[in-house]
Amino acid sequence: MGRKAEEPDPEEELARPISAAPREGPLAQPIGGSGIRVPPRLVEGLNRKGLERVGDLLFLLPRTYEDRRRLSTIRELRPGERGVAVGTVRMARDLMIRPGKRGFQAVLADETGSIALTWFQSGPWMKSRVPVGKRLIVSGELRATAGGREMVHPEIEPADEGRGPSLHTGRIVPVYPGFERHEQRQVRELVARVAAAHLAAVEDPLPPELRERLGLPPLAQALARIHQPAPDDDLGALDQHRSPAHRRLAFDELFLLHLGLALRRQGVKHEPGIAFRVDGERLARARGLLPFTLTRAQARAVAEIGRDMARPEPMHRLLQGDVGSGKTAVAAVAAALAVEDGWQVALMAPTEILAAQHHATFARVFGKTDVEVALVTGTGSGSEKRRTREAVESGRARIAVGTQALIQEGTAFERLGLVLIDEQHRFGVLQRQALGQKGRRPDVLVMTATPIPRTLAMTLYGDLDLSVLDELPPGRTPITTRVATPPRHPEVWEAVELELRKGRQAYVLYPLVEASEKVDLADATRGAEELQARWPHRRVELLHGRLKQEEKDAVMEAFRAGRVDVLVCTTVVEVGVDVANASVMVIQNAERFGLSQLHQLRGRVGRGAAASFCYLLPSFAGGPDARERLEVLEQSTDGFVIAEKDLELRGPGEFLGTRQSGLPELSVANLARDQALSAVAAEEAKAIAAADPRLAGPQHRGLLRALEERWEGKLSLARVG
């Protein structure tokens, strides 16, 4: 029936209402106190799961649906297939699985036959749920074993006593997230009662004209259908949250997302900003600071940025391009334009190492001028820090490069006009705003190396204009990428040795995540020791986030200067450094990374003219799927192709990290799947934002309320309403 055989663990699953549940009005009444009698213990249980208000239940989206329009007889159940049947418990007993480990087994029978129900766990609760003589609905995959036919860990629910179709049988039945199977019945009944009493109070945020034009069902009707599907509804569509009712909810999510973005963008645009003086001569001078000619893509981006800067509205632009596509160079031109016009520039990087590198780059670019470039970081001595802060505050330093330290208290600018953010996926919207507030509505340029598929970029950064660097500077040789499973690892190390003999350098990268930090660090440490033992005459160094800043700097500097041959490091230390002589990168446990991230990482080699290599070493733990996934990187060097693939494989949530993005969450809509719907929603949102930017019209009252609730105050900057 197209559903996954294994059940998610209800403990880990959240019984969360989708974000549309209203926070005010009749639907915000507490579940226990809304005129519907609910046992206090059930209320407590619901509250513990975060279900507190009537609306939370109405907007609790079923996880799956079960087809109980016709229950099978036990004889009709087919081995290897999922099925739902009803029967009576004939026998129930504990099962000795092995000494000290008990299971539970029951026999379920109807007039056509019997099957065994087996659990590899037991306890008093099993006996109370499966007592002899009880009629149960069981659902699961039937297996034919030597001993007969059985279901292992079936889902069970008490059957209705007789009386034909009801909420629980004779129809398509919802299964709610966060509740055990034996609790479903109670939840289903409660939701049905709440729906009967309160659906009429559901306010439809969409203007009727829009809803009708797009052929969407009214919200209350959609909710009713989601909890109690009609007999002829498409089960597959319901299960995949693609039914017309689900589509209505998905549309609302996308529409409110786009509307919020559109209004925020308008709000930003309407604030007075700085109109920089930009002309052909100034542009030529700024470009002349670079030791090379811009690529066509860079020239286009510079022109777009120049045009934005010249306008009185603040620039809000995203500069997107692969690692090495020349974003920093473009940013330097923008900085030169701002500085020439008498303004200060802030450049924010996600790590200290990257900040140091950007500082070095900018110091080089502006070396022939008298422009002072300061490095503002969280480390260094107190007096040093005070000196740089003072240089920025007095305006002596015209450019300040730094980490988050830049947005923390204590760094003031004399005349901040342009903010450059090397995002690398690290900063949320809030941080951007914090830096934005340091000046008088400065222009903002965000650089990102994550090639986000265009449709997604429009959604995630819908309030930013977009420039894309889709062309690499000349003289690069493409990187050859190979996936090597454990038996082929020796060949990889031979290939690395070959590069080392040519005088080149190598990166060996280990993943590091907080949850398994100790193990990951140990892996990297052992890896470094092994490589040092393999090449006693080479210098192997280990770099990770736990080292002191001075140690990190020393190792990095030694690698940059070519004194270190092999740099073993964890990805906590973003290796965003430019070392042209490094020609090979080995990535351990590569299956633990997303494809886009791997693509970004491998961009650290191939920065010079030498042929470069990247070896992806999945561990045994990755399994055969890992290899297949990683092979995408063998075949493509196009960041956008890889991003699309990544999106397809991992889904947009993980890809975008929306939770950190400061945008409302999407529960029903899926940005990858619903691109067409999203485009329609965006268009309609734009039209409304243009026609009624304060949503003051009476037909927009519901919309305004829904918008404020959905964005939870994150829209305040746009001053909606």
Interface with Mg ion (CB under 5 A): 328
599 in contact with ligand ADP (CB under 6 A): no
Tokens matching residue 182: 């034996």
354 in contact with ligand ADP (CB under 6 A): no
Query: CB-wise, 360 or 558, nearer to ligand ADP?
Result: 360
State the virtual CA torsion across 126, 228, 8, 140 in degrees, nearest 10. 60
Running DSSP on this structure, what letter comes out for residue 192?
Answer: H
Task: Give yes or no for a contact between 467 and 317, defined as CB atoms under 8 angstroms apart.
Answer: yes
323 in contact with ligand ADP (CB under 6 A): yes
Kindly state the smallest distance separating residue 16's Cβ from ligand ADP, in Å. Answer: 39
325 in contact with ligand ADP (CB under 6 A): yes
Kindly state the smallest distance separating residue 332's Cβ from ligand ADP, in Å. Answer: 8
User: Using CB distances below 5 to 8 A depending on partner kind, what does residue 324 bind out of ligand ADP, Mg ion, none?
Assistant: ligand ADP
Applying CB under 6 A, among 117, 159, 329, 348 the residue interacting with ligand ADP is 329
Running DSSP on this structure, what letter comes out for residue 470?
Answer: -
User: Using CB distances below 5 to 8 A depending on partner kind, what does residue 329 bind out of Mg ion, ligand ADP, none?
Assistant: ligand ADP
Choices 203-211, 327-335, 371-379, 588-596 (CB under 6 A): range interacting with ligand ADP = 327-335
- In degrees and rounded to multiples of 5, residue 220 shows phi and psi of -60, -40
Query: CB-wise, 140 or 576, nearer to ligand ADP?
Result: 576
Query: CB-wise, 451 or 527, nearer to ligand ADP?
Result: 451
Which of positions 663-702 make contact with ligand ADP (CB under 6 A)? none
Running DSSP on this structure, what letter comes out for residue 18?
Answer: -
Task: Give yes or no for a contact between 695 and 703, defined as CB atoms under 8 angstroms apart.
Answer: yes
Pick from 224, 208, 210, 126: nearest CA to 174 = 224
3-state secondary structure of 152: strand
Applying CB under 6 A, among 324, 402, 618, 664 the residue interacting with ligand ADP is 324
Applying CB under 6 A, among 64, 122, 295, 424 the residue interacting with ligand ADP is 295
Task: Give yes or no for a contact between 584 and 578, defined as CB atoms under 8 angstroms apart.
Answer: no
Choices 1-9, 91-99, 322-330, 642-650 (CB under 6 A): range interacting with ligand ADP = 322-330
298 in contact with ligand ADP (CB under 6 A): yes
350 in contact with ligand ADP (CB under 6 A): no
Kindly state the smallest distance separating residue 421's Cβ from ligand ADP, in Å. Answer: 12
297 in contact with ligand ADP (CB under 6 A): no
Choices 163-171, 317-325, 487-495, 588-596 (CB under 6 A): range interacting with ligand ADP = 317-325
Applying CB under 6 A, among 17, 306, 321, 652 the residue interacting with ligand ADP is 321
Choices 325-333, 522-530, 565-573, 620-628 (CB under 6 A): range interacting with ligand ADP = 325-333
Query: Which residue type does 464 have?
Result: L
User: Using CB distances below 5 to 8 A depending on partner kind, what does residue 388 bind out of Mg ion, ligand ADP, none?
Assistant: none
Kindly state the smallest distance separating residue 438's Cβ from Mg ion, in Å. Answer: 23
Applying CB under 6 A, among 34, 328, 377, 505 the residue interacting with ligand ADP is 328
Report the sign of the C-alpha dihedral through residues 338, 339, 345, 349, in that order.
positive
State the virtual CA torsion across 369, 372, 377, 379 in degrees, nearest 10. 110
Query: CB-wise, 202 or 585, nearer to Mg ion?
Result: 585
294 in contact with ligand ADP (CB under 6 A): yes
Which residue's structure tokens are 């690892």? 489
User: Using CB distances below 5 to 8 A depending on partner kind, what does residue 154 bind out of Mg ion, ligand ADP, none?
Assistant: none
Pick from 511, 502, 535: nearest CA to 612 = 502
User: Using CB distances below 5 to 8 A depending on partner kind, what does residue 160 bind out of Mg ion, ligand ADP, none?
Assistant: none
Query: CB-wise, 183 or 578, nearer to ligand ADP?
Result: 578
Task: Give yes or no for a contact between 552 and 543, defined as CB atoms under 8 angstroms apart.
Answer: yes
Rounded CA-CA distance 534/553 in Å is: 26
Compute the 3-state secondary structure of the chain and give helix, strand, coil in percent, each to the nearest 5.
45, 20, 40
**How far lies 672's CA from each of 2, 20, 104, 258, 596, in Å?**
20, 20, 43, 15, 16
Kindly state the smallest distance separating residue 543's Cβ from ligand ADP, in Å. Answer: 20
User: Using CB distances below 5 to 8 A depending on partner kind, what does residue 395 bind out of Mg ion, ligand ADP, none?
Assistant: none
User: Using CB distances below 5 to 8 A depending on partner kind, what does residue 261 bind out of ligand ADP, Mg ion, none?
Assistant: none
Kindly state the smallest distance separating residue 280's Cβ from ligand ADP, in Å. Answer: 19
Kindly state the smallest distance separating residue 447's Cβ from Mg ion, in Å. Answer: 7
Which of positions 565-584 make contact with ligand ADP (CB under 6 A)? 578
Applying CB under 6 A, among 154, 260, 306, 326 the residue interacting with ligand ADP is 326
- In degrees and rounded to multiples of 5, residue 15 shows phi and psi of -85, 70
Which of positions 456-475 make contact with ligand ADP (CB under 6 A)? 473
Rounded CA-CA distance 592/622 in Å is: 8
Choices 54-62, 291-299, 510-518, 679-687 (CB under 6 A): range interacting with ligand ADP = 291-299
Does residue 13 come out as left (phi exceeding 0), alpha (psi in the -120 to 50 range) or beta?
Answer: beta
Please classify residue 640 by burial: count the beta carbons closer than 10 Å to its beta carbon, then call 0-12 exposed, 13-18 middle and 19+ buried: middle
Rounded CA-CA distance 638/238 in Å is: 36
Rg (CA), the chain: 30
Task: Give yes or no for a contact between 318 and 467, defined as CB atoms under 8 angstroms apart.
Answer: yes
Give the number of residues in contact with ligand ADP, rule: CB under 6 A. Answer: 14
Taking CB atoms within 8 Å and a gap of at least 24, the contacts of 684-691 are: 684/210, 684/214, 684/255, 684/258, 685/255, 685/258, 685/259, 685/261, 685/262, 686/258, 686/262, 688/259, 688/262, 689/259, 689/262, 689/263, 689/266
Query: CB-wise, 574 or 709, nearer to ligand ADP?
Result: 574
Kindly state the smallest distance separating residue 294's Cβ from ligand ADP, in Å. Answer: 5
Please classify residue 385 by burial: count the beta carbons closer than 10 Å to its beta carbon, then call 0-12 exposed, 13-18 middle and 19+ buried: middle
Kindly state the smallest distance separating residue 587's Cβ from ligand ADP, in Å. Answer: 18
Question: In the complex, which residues of this chain contact ligand ADP (CB under 6 A)?
Answer: 292, 294-295, 298, 321, 323-329, 473, 578
